[in-house]
């Protein structure tokens, strides 16, 4: 095997471009670290202080948890319906609001909108959040699969209405939860003295669990293949006996559950529900993560790993922009510039151009030509 | 139909009233206070605005229509509650409360609804600071005095009774002064490195509070090592603080432009294994949870932006109704909360 053949195989791999993008953004992080501290070391440094692992890499992984989870759900939705679910940010807020409303049931207003102790068990609160996510997702799926409404229009309903409903459940307030274990899922699991029992942010484990569980289910059942075939040709799939509508409904419901899990993490991070801001604009980052992962937004074949890489790339980009003091309100502009570059890199029209360039290069390299002749 | 007739009648009487008032005030001196320069802070009597709150429907109560921004922060919800608590019959008031949910168009409709309902005085806490002239004119034409609160409008001052609210730059100066005093009282000789968490860029609160620090830092030899907006939210404050912490730069002061971002910053410090008590933490607003954190030693000082404005607005309306001259700009009474007065503050302001 020649070098260029091996190289060609790597380049043609689905994950090549997503990985290159991630590497580029990480490189940017390293350069910025070098320019401020004089060496690239601090970027890779992970230290243990007071029972918490610290370091840029940990921060990026921790902060990308919600996005990774949303991207997993979004990938399946995109694959089977060739459309996007733009309601995930609002569903995060709604599931968080309903969950806290349940946890402080009937006592929120008289306690200054603080949950002093759980009225229903914490586990019930979590299940309520997941149920809200599932119902919202199933509603979206029903509109898309049964009523054949365009995905963006169908999910626009909850995109606008979901946040409003969240404010109704939160009574227009920022509801806080004062019980210590409420903050565990978005921060660290602690003992009763407030010392960390696990030095790694809990959200990383949750994101990993969602990714692994989804991947296992898709691999060990026909579901993954069914989703792709529905996305490639929904009619043909129905003719060969797949229940296309049911598969689409399932994918949206699952996406809703993913949004609820992300909502649980986001509310736990701040120990309360800020219905105005929870998950705000995150739906766009989730769609972007899917696209950055090398998945076509026109549906069909998908790569879960790609979406996960895409999500981490976006968070790494956000982190580097923060650390070079780009103001948060200008962040979208810089993100857009990077996205344009990445999307151009991934364009299928660009690849033949690159290949032509590579062939030209090959002709100039005598060693390779000799190898090819042999 | 009925409402429409009422509206027209109201508009007519309003127009007649303003005409007669205009006639009265035609001869008044219209010179402005030279010390104020081009500022809009001039006395009411030369502005051509002569509406005063009064009990026009004779029910013995003054009906206040309050067009509130929304419920976007802890400060805002405390602010709303204070109006609801104060404007009750026992104090001689009735309250009509409308929440714009941060939607400027809805708020304009809200004010029109208040005019149509014939409330006796309007308090407008505007979502945006532009495009209000026609609506203020409508209120004036209807003969309903209008108080602008919380956010100053760049409109001609003969369109409203008075502006009432916090002076954001003054709050910033209060915080800066506290820091100067703290440094000299504790003989701190280390360099002062400040992490500056800004509010939503362009908001009145952000501009005033940022200006105070930006003005003071060079002269005092303070370094602002990081300046980033946390958009007044806890989640963003936490995220921005985390990303700063991983740069590993030295700092000893956090200047956070509202309480919600301060909560987030403290969480980020703790998550990174740092003790918030080792840093000088300056916050703004003074919500109950934040005052409790001052008592617990987590926050060092809060430059107060008192949300409990109901009673002060009530006093202002009573003064105007009694025929007293009201200044065009009235600032709420504010100070700071630190370890010396936090316990007392939580008792008097929050009753616990």
pLDDT tens digits, one per residue of A233-281: 888 998 888 899 999 999 999 999 999 999 999 999 999 999 988 998 8
Indicate whether A14 pLDDT > 90.
no
Instruction: Determine, for residues B233 and A277 on separate chains, whether the beta-carbon distance falls below 8 Å.
Output: yes
- Flag if B240 and A322 touch (Cβ within 8 Å): yes
Q: From the centroid of its chain, how far is CA B225?
A: 29
Query: Do A122 and A180 meet the contact criterion of CB atoms below 8 Å apart?
Result: no
Q: Does residue B139 form part of some domain?
A: yes
First to last CA, chain A: 11
Distance between CA atoms of B180 and B190, rounded to whole angstroms? 13
- pLDDT at position B196: 97
Q: Is residue A176 less than 8 Å (CB to CB) from chain B? A: yes
Which of B247, B261, B266, B307 to mutate: most A Cβ within 10 Å? B247
Which of B74, B229, B230 lies at the smallest CB-CB distance from A174?
Answer: B74
Domain-embedded: residue B57: yes
Q: Is B85 on the interface with A (CB under 8 A)?
A: no
- Residue contact A167–B71, C-beta within 8 A: yes
Q: Which residue of B lies nearest to A40 if distances are taken between CA atoms?
A: B247
- The verdict on B144 and B101 lying in the same domain is yes
CA A351 to each of CA A6, A17, A282, A295, A348: distance values in angstroms, whole numbers, following the listed order: 17, 11, 30, 15, 5
B259 HSE (CA, 13 A, CB side): 25
Q: Are residues B48 and B105 in the same domain?
A: yes
B21 and B63 housed in the same domain = yes
Q: How far is B125 from B109, CA to CA, in rounded Å?
A: 14
User: In Å, how far are B182, B227, B252, B281 from B179, measured between CA atoms?
Assistant: 5, 18, 12, 10
Looking at CA atoms only, how far is residue A101 from chain B in angstroms? 17
For every residue of B213-280, DSSP letters joined together read HHHHHHHHT-EEEEEEE-TT-HHHHHHHHHHHHTTT----EEEESSHHHHHHHHHHHHHTT--GGGSE
Of the pLDDT bands very low, low, confident and very high (cuts 50, 70, 90), residue A371 is low
Residue pointed to by tokens 């060609």: A8
Q: How far is CA A357 from CA A340, A350, B119, in A?
A: 22, 11, 75
Which of residues A198 and A331 earns the better pLDDT score? Answer: A198
Residues B140 and B182 in one domain: no
Find the CATH number of the domain harbouring B301.
3.40.50.2300
Whether B22 and B44 share a structural domain: yes
Report the pLDDT value the prediction gives residue A156, as an integer from 0 to 100: 96
| 3 state DSSP class of A133 | helix
Structure confidence at residue A9 (pLDDT): 74
Same domain, B146 and B261: no
Q: Which of residues 307-326 of A touch B (CB under 8 A)?
A: 319, 322-323, 325
* pLDDT for A194: 81
User: What's the pLDDT score for residue A109?
Assistant: 83
Cα torsion A141, A142, A148, A151: sign: negative
Q: How far is B295 from chain A (nearest CA, A)?
A: 17
Angle (CA) A362 A368 A370, round 5°? 125
In-domain check, residue B101: yes
Q: How far apart are CA A364 and CA B230, in angstroms?
A: 54
Q: Which two tokens stand for residue A123?
A: 């586990």
Interface contact flag, A274 B249, Cβ < 8 Å: no
User: CB within 8 A of B111, min separation 6: which ones?
Assistant: B65, B67, B122, B124, B135, B138, B139
DSSP string, A178-222: --GGGGTTTS--B-TTS-BSSSS-HHHHHHHHHHHHHHHHHHHSS
Cβ of B260 under 8 Å from any chain A Cβ? yes
Do the domain assignments include residue B6? yes
Contact (CB, 8 A) for A316 and A29: yes
Give yes or no for residue A342 having a pLDDT over 90: no
| Predicted confidence pLDDT, tens digits, chain B (352 residues) | 455 555 555 455 444 444 433 333 333 333 333 333 333 333 444 457 888 888 888 888 999 999 998 877 778 888 998 999 999 999 999 999 998 877 888 999 999 999 999 999 999 999 887 889 999 999 999 999 999 998 888 888 889 999 998 889 999 999 999 999 999 999 999 999 999 999 988 888 899 999 999 999 999 999 999 999 998 999 999 999 998 998 888 999 999 999 999 999 999 999 888 999 999 999 999 988 999 999 999 999 999 988 888 999 999 999 999 988 888 888 887 889 999 999 988 888 776 5
Co-location of B124 and B152 in the same domain: yes
ipTM comes to 0.83
C-alpha–C-alpha distance, residues B257 and B231, integer Å = 9
A89 touching chain B per CB within 8 A: no
Nearest CA in chain B to A186: B271
B195 and B272 fall within a common domain: yes
User: If you count them, how many residues does chain B have?
Assistant: 352
From CA B97, how far away is CA B110, in angstroms rounded? Answer: 9
Is residue A309 within 8 Å of residue A19, measured between CB atoms?
A: yes
pLDDT of residue A173: 83
**So what's the pLDDT on residue B34?**
36
- Count of structural domains, chain B: 2
**Is there a domain that residue B344 lies in?**
no
Flag whether residue A187 sits within 8 Å of chain B, measured between CB atoms. yes
Residue A70 pLDDT grade (very low, low, confident, very high; cuts 50, 70, 90)? very high
Phi-psi region of A122 (alpha: psi -120 to 50; beta: other; left: phi over 0): alpha
Domain assignment present for B153: yes
> Domain span at residue B279?
168-305
How does the average pLDDT of chain A come out, rounded?
89
pLDDT 10s digits, A33-57: 888 778 887 888 888 888 888 888 9
Question: CA–CA separation, A5 vs A3, rounded Å?
Answer: 5
pLDDT of residue A355: 79
């Amino acid at each position: 095997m020649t070098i260029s053949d091996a190289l060609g195989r790597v380049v043609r791999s689905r994950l090549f471009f997503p990985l290159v993008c991630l590497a580029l953004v990480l490189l940017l992080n390293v350069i910025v670290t070098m320019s401020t501290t004089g060496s690239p070391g601090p970027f890779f440094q992970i230290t243990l202080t007071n029972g918490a692992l610290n370091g840029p890499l940990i921060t990026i992984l921790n902060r990308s948890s919600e996005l990774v989870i949303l991207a997993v759900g979004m990938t399946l939705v995109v694959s089977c319906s060739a459309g996007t679910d733009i309601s995930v940010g609002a569903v995060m807020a709604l599931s968080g609001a309903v969950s806290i409303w349940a946890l402080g049931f009937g006592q929120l207003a008289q306690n200054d909108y603080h949950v002093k102790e759980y009225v229903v068990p914490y586990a019930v609160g979590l299940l309520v959040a997941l149920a809200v996510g599932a119902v919202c997702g199933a509603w979206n799926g029903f509109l898309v699969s049964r009523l054949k409404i365009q995905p963006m229009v169908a999910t626009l309903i909850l995109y606008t209405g979901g946040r409003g409903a969240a404010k109704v459940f939160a009574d227009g307030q920022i509801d806080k939860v004062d019980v210590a274990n409420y903050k565990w899922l978005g921060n660290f699991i602690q003992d009763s003295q407030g010392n960390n029992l696990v030095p790694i942010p809990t959200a990383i484990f949750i994101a990993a669990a969602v990714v692994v569980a989804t991947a296992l289910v898709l691999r060990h059942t026909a579901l993954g293949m069914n989703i792709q075939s529905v996305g490639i040709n929904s009619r043909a799939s129905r003719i060969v006996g797949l229940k296309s509508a049911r598969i689409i409904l399932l994918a949206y419901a699952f996406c809703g559950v993913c949004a609820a899990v992300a909502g649980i993490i986001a509310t736990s991070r701040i120990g309360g529900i800020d219905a105005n801001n929870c998950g705000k604009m995150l739906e766009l980052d989730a769609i972007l993560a899917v696209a950055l992962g090398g998945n076509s937004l026109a549906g069909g074949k998908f790569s879960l790993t790609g979406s996960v890489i895409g999500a981490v790339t976006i968070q790494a980009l956000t982190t580097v922009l923060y650390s070079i003091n780009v103001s948060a309100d200008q962040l979208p502009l810089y993100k857009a510039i990077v996205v344009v570059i990445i999307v151009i890199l991934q364009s299928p029209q660009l690849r033949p151009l690159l290949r032509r360039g590579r062939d030209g290069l090959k002709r100039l390299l005598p060693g390779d030509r000799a190898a090819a002749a042999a | 139909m009925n409402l429409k007739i009422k509206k027209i009648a109201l508009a007519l009487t309003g127009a007649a009233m303003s005409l007669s008032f205009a006639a009265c005030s035609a001869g008044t001196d219209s010179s402005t206070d030279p010390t104020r320069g081009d500022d809009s802070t001039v006395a009411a009597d030369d502005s051509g605005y002569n509406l005063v709150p009064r009990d026009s429907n004779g029910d013995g109560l003054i009906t206040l229509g309050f067009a509130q921004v929304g419920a976007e922060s802890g400060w805002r919800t405390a602010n709303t509650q204070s109006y609801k608590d104060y404007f009750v019959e026992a104090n001689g008031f009735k309250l009509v409360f409308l929440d714009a949910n941060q939607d400027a168009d809805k708020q304009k409709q809200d004010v029109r609804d208040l005019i149509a309902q014939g409330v006796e005085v309007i308090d407008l806490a505007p979502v945006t600071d532009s495009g209000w002239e026609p609506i203020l004119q409508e209120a004036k034409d209807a003969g309903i005095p209008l108080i602008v609160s919380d956010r100053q409008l760049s409109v001609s001052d003969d369109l409203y009774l008075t502006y009432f609210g916090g002076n954001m730059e003054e709050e910033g100066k209060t915080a800066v002064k506290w820091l100067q005093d703290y440094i000299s009282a504790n003989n701190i000789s280390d360099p002062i490195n400040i992490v500056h968490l800004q509010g939503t860029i362009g908001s009145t609160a952000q501009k005033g509070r940022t200006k105070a620090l930006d003005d003071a830092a060079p002269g005092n030899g303070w370094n602002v090592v990081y300046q980033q907006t946390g958009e007044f939210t806890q989640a963003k404050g936490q995220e921005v603080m985390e990303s700063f912490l991983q740069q590993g730069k030295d700092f000893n002061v956090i200047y956070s432009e509202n309480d919600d971002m301060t909560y987030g910053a403290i969480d980020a410090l703790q998550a990174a294994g740092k003790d918030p008590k080792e840093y000088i933490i300056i916050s703004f607003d003074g919500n109950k949870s934040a005052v409790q954190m001052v008592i617990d030693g987590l926050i060092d000082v809060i430059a107060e932006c008192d949300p409990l404005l109901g009673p002060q607005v009530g006093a202002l309306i009573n003064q105007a109704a009694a025929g007293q001259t009201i200044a065009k700009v009235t600032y709420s009474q504010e100070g700071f909360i630190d370890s010396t007065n936090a316990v007392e503050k939580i008792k008097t302001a929050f009753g616990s």
